[in-house]
Structure 1
Amino acid sequence: MRHGGQILVDQLKHRGVQRVFSVPGESFLAALDALHDSGIENVVCRHEGGAAMMAEAYGKLTGTPGVVFVTRGPGATNAAAGIHVARQDSTPMILFVGQIARGHRDREAFQEVDIPAVFAPLAKWAGDVHDTARLPEYIARAWNLALSGRPGPVVLALPEDMLSASAAVADIPPATAAPAPDYETFSQSALSALRLARRPLVVVGGPGWSAKAARDLQVLAETADLPVAATFRRQDYMDNRHPNYVGDLGVGMNPKLGERLERADVILALGTRLGETATSGYRLLDPARPDGKRTLIHVHPDPDELGRVHSPHMALVAPAAQAVNALAAHAAPLINSRVWTAEARADYEVWQEPHRSPGALQQEWVIRWLSEHLPEDAIVTNGAGNYAAWLHRYFRFKRYGTQLAPTSGSMGYGLPAAIAAKLAHPERTVVCLAGDGCLQMTVNELSTAAQFGAAVVVLVVNNGRYGTIRMHQEHFYPGRVSGTDLFVPDLPALARAYGGWGTRVTQNAAFPAAFAAARTAGTLALIDLRVDPQALATGQTLDAARTEGLARRA
């Protein structure tokens, strides 16, 4: 006989779980009891949103479900932001929610929320476990669903009396792998189509990649003379220094790369959904007006995604990592595309040339310095905000597994993700890039970093405003500032209050020494980067945005 908490934790141990994230609650005391001597590390966080984002980042890094425990009601709803990130980023994740006792349901008991109803639109599946003896069944299903097809988040509600009750039940072992699809036939057909192309483009993204898949992608690109573009915040899928890498199809993309996507005669889409961001609002690839002269070859692990938006001429239901391995093994030189590929790379190099921002401290200078001086395996995280556009444009990612950022565009993600990354890889440099608004969404997780010894380096781009919204405001309602100014506390002092190290930088020349001191501090470190508020976006100032907005209105 085992109580429900023990049954649950034993299922996690059978599946190799080594670390979970949580904010404790009385509704899952039995699970906390089972974690006590389980050998599984419980990273206790300060807010359920931060805990869920840490679990999501951990799932991205490991390829196995990130696990998070939260309590009922407000605890669960606080975690919803992390579930949304996992869904849009196709990250395997399981959220366990302590729930009210079964006998109190439908009375609006203390903190009662219908968990499956709340999370059904956000998660791959949301369930409610009513029977202690069925815990192994539910957890096996949750684990398999989180990993199958297009990976994503699963939510399980755990009534407190169900968890504390005991049952004699056998464990369910992890599922075996499904049979592999016919990669041989697909590879030959896809490469035959590419052989006839004059303007091919490989577009990579989505879940399930690995360091080996990144190497296979490089072999495919080199051998077949193919240009490779990464989708939004998947830039670490190929070494950006490689001559076949041609940039990212994301927010603030190189306009010339967008034109190449629009003009391509054969698109090999590996793992990506070719969603709104990658296609510039579906303008570059309009699913309602397909180009009859273009061939789309689409590989995705979820059969429901293939043909749902874009109509492929050739489709393969498979993880991109396996498909690119087969394609690399059969690749041959494609001489028709050599000039096209070289031109695409030349466009990328021109786009990398810095566009000078106003002020004494310039983000393009900082990002290029980081790109040139960080170790190749350093992990860089970020959340949402215009500051990230400088990172996308000027940082060259060199290895797989070095970029952690939400394709969902969630603010507050960078710090929790950095903490999760540092706990997973304590030997590696982990840098969080955040805006002043972005950081303050989850700044309380500095406490978690201090408690668990996560010596992350946090770089805060501080301009005293919600910059992205201010940019749009100036475009559409110029000169009418409303709701976008931001009070920012003394951030270095805040870092020191948490037992960390902090300083402020106002000029380019001071940044290298400050960063070196942050890395050697041996604890969490924060650098407050005071940038000119005029620098709203790469290549655009606040005044220019306002002028454009006034001209548009006129």
Structure 2
Amino acid sequence: MKVAELLVKCLEHEGVEYIFGVPGEENLDLMDALLDSPIEFIVTRHETSAAFMAGTYGRLTGKPGVCLATLGPGATNLVTGVANANMDQCPLIAITGQAGLNRQHKISHQYYDLISLYKPVTKWNAQVKTPGIVPEIVRKAYQVASEEKPGATHIDLPEDVAGMEIDAEPLPISPHALPQADESILQQAVQLIKEANQPIILAGNGITRGKASEALQTFALQARIPVVHSFMGKGALSWKDDLSLLTAGIGGNDYITCGFESSDLILAVGFDMAEYPPENWNPDRNTRILHIDTDDAETDSHYPVALNVVGDIKENLKELSAIIQPKDNPLEWVESIRKQALNELAEAADDEGFPVKPQKIISDLRNVLHDEDIVISDVGAHKMWMARMYHTTHPNTCLISNGLASMGVAVPGAIAAKMVCPERNVVAVCGDGAFQMTSAELETAVRLNLPIIILLWRDGGYGLIEWKQLRDFQRPAYIDFGNPDFIKLAQSYGFEAMQIEKADELKPALQQAIAMNKPILIDCPVDYDENMKLTEKLGQIDC
């Protein structure tokens, strides 16, 4: 068989369902081989979108999503989405076509050294320089992308090698299990918790990856320790639980800041520093950290680790639950924080202001969607509101990128999420700036007949940048842009579309969108004057 056919056979062996990408001249052999494969190739309208889709697939399934591009501009377009998956710790394999080996030693049309280009944004990468190494490269790419902590890997396939003949088979797949912490370490962890007067748990993305949310809930209830979530850890403990301190990470003051300030031990469980810099929640560096994760903690002066509990998060939490004694510390402060935060959402339910306030948009969205439905937030001012106020019951039901945090992720991500979870409603929450970066993928959603909902927060500018400019400089700079007629744009791609003209139209529109079960866009003007009002309000919090 050809090398390209062997590569496809190896991907089939690994259980790959989809490859997202844009074909090119240098991967013609690979595209032809896929015609005879059960793997479905999903043609996207931009390579970055392909990588966003693969990353979302990886985040939701735990299996590497696969994306493909040709050499040169195709490969450089793919980089942003690959970097996004890598920093969000979503398993992904990127495959790039490449110039033949016979012209890589000189300046050549569209040739760049992609191994060097992708090295900083992946866990591992390699070029297929000879036919016989394909099974090893695919097996290692899949293994490295999948193992904790997951991320991106990259395979570079020169066009002349892709067409060479080879007789080989995929390598066997060997399961990999994480170890558990030693009993002595677990006992030391229990002692640290016992000595603490007001411990809190900071729940990160690793809990979801490790399928440890149930174990965390058991541990938190057994120990009577409240839980605050990072943006990417949302849903580790249901927002309805009395121990849930909801979500932190907006920066600066917030209600939960009081909890961090008064805590003398923070149990960071499955937490990655890219999610929420420790200097934001441990500025004085005097609160000790009990680090519970699959790997030792990153070195950071604001993250003074008293003990590392390393290994399988779920199993280690189960062991801790079996030997921990409940804390008898008062938790009235938890009730106070929950009441203040949840009241904000409740008070917004009947707000009639127009353009619609962010709080009202989120209140209507939360009231309409089921607990298992999936919301994917793009990056912008709306992301801060969604992270803070869209409360979740289950992990992976509000997807927020907080590693690389690239704009444009929501629409491609919603497409992949609907492919993975067709039985759930999937909503992409986008600002108008981020939406236009990947709006061409509306055609992809229509072509694949995927009934996703796009909830567009329209303000005609880069709202998050303006928010920070007003906070730091008291005036905006270069954030305004023009918009197309989003209703006509969506309809031209085959989407249904609704225009919100009064605040009380949004909730019925969302309900109608769900009932229609078609690709649909809802254009909702948003009042971002609320941004600075929130900044002022949070600045007045006195712990």
Q: TM-score range by the shorter chain?
A: over 0.9
Structure 2 counterparts to residues 186-335 of structure 1, below 5 A: 186-207=185-206, 209=208, 212-252=211-251, 255-275=254-274, 277-279=276-278, 282-286=279-283, 290-291=285-286, 294-303=287-296, 305=298, 310-335=303-328
Q: CA deviation at 1:307?
A: 7.0
Distance 1:60 1:148 in 2: 13
Secondary structure (helix, strand or coil) at the match of 2:120 reads coil
Matches of 1:284 and 1:179, distance apart in 2: 30
The answer to whether residue 368 in structure 2 is matched with residue 369 in structure 1 is no
CA contact (8 A) 1:50 1:445 kept: yes
In the alignment, what sits opposite 2:425? 429
Instruction: Find the counterpart in structure 2 of residue 456 from structure 1.
Output: 452
Unaligned runs of 5+ in 2: 539-543
| Match of residue 164 from structure 1 | 163
Deviations 1:454-506 (A, max 9, x none): 11000000011111112223334444x54211111111111111111001102
Give the match for residue 384 of structure 1. Answer: 379
Deviation digits for residues 247-302 of structure 1 (CA, Å, limit 9, x no counterpart): 222125762312322332111111112447343xx14325xx632xx431112323
Alpha-carbon contact 1:295-1:313 (below 8 Å) kept: yes
Q: State the one-letter code of the partner of 1:243.
A: D
What displacement does 1:135 show?
0.7
Kindly indicate whether residue 489 of structure 2 is the aligned counterpart of residue 490 of structure 1: no
TM superposition shift of 1:148: 2.3
Distance in 2 between residues matched to 1:120 and 1:357, nearest whole Å: 51
Structure 1 residue 441 and structure 2 residue 437: aligned? Answer: yes
Shift of 1:388: 1.9
Report the alpha carbon displacement of residue 218 of structure 1 after superposing the two structures with TM.
Answer: 1.3
TM-score when scaled to structure 1?
0.90
Question: Helix, strand or coil: the match of 1:290?
Answer: coil
Alpha-carbon shift at residue 43 of structure 1 (Å): 1.3
% identity of equivalent residues: 29
| Shift in Å, 1:385 | 0.5
Q: Deviations over 1:75-96 (max 9, x none)?
A: 1111111122112211111101
Q: Distance in 2 between matches of 1:386 and 1:417?
A: 18
Residue 32 of structure 2: aligned partner: 33
Q: Distance in 2 between matches of 1:437 and 1:19?
A: 29
**Larger mean Cα displacement after TM superposition, 530-539 or 63-72:** 530-539
Q: Deviations over 1:301-331 (max 9, x none)?
A: 2347367973411113324333333333444
Contact 2:10 2:169 (8 Å CA) reproduced: no
Residues 125 and 208 of structure 1: CA distance in aligned 2, closer, same or farther (over 3 Å)? farther
The whole-number CA distance in structure 1 between the counterparts of 2:309 and 2:407 is 34
1:237 partner SS: coil
Segments of 4+ in structure 1 off by > 6 A? 306-309
Task: Please report how far the alpha carbon of residue 360 of structure 1 lies from its aligned counterpart in structure 2 after TM superposition.
Answer: 4.6
Q: How many residues align?
A: 535
1:138 paired residue number:
137
Query: What is the letter of the counterpart of residue 361 of structure 1?
Result: V
1:201 and 1:214 map into 2 onto residues whose CA distance is 16
Matching residue's letter, 1:299: I
> Does the Cα contact within 8 Å between 1:461 and 1:528 map onto a contact in 2?
yes
